[in-house]
Amino acid sequence: MSIVTGYKLEEKTKKIPKQWGLESFLSGMSVKNVKDEDYEKSYMAYLETSYATFDKKPDELKSKYTKDKVLDERVYKEELENFLINKQVVDTALLENLAKQRVQNLKAYLTEHKIPDEQIVVTQEV
């Protein structure tokens, strides 16, 4: 195994169906660079856009969680997230690769912070 210094997200997202809208999210609305309230707005916009790509209408879902003209944002957001999570397809090989990368990154971090190699035990099992 080798230590991964940078994660090439573009290569990994090529396998993701375009209907998820992840590519547009990563290229256009990077939530990383958004602060506080704008983060929540950007994240909600991303969730709603992704939800709409499955021929669902966010407004209908919104009306389901609106009572007395007040939207229960927490429950609405959870419903959007749960719907999108259930639509994701996870490949076992990808999970194994991510686990191995994580182990190597942790080992590099510990070594960088002067933890002796003898104290770091890495197994090849995933």
pLDDT tens, position by position, for the chain (126 residues)? Answer: 433 333 344 444 444 455 445 554 445 445 556 677 788 888 889 999 999 998 889 999 999 999 998 999 999 999 999 999 998 888 888 888 888 899 889 988 888 888 887 887 877 766
Q: Which residue from 53, 55, 57, 47 is spatially nearest to 17, judged by alpha carbons?
A: 53
**How confident is the model at residue 91, as a pLDDT?**
84
Domain boundaries, the chain: 1-89, 91-126
- pTM equals 0.53
**How confident is the model at residue 40, as a pLDDT?**
84
Inter-residue contact 80 to 66 (CB < 8 Å): no
Inter-residue contact 49 to 19 (CB < 8 Å): no
**How confident is the model at residue 116, as a pLDDT?**
84
Quote the CA–CA distance of 3 and 94 in Å, as a whole number: 16
In total, the chain counts a number of residues equal to: 126
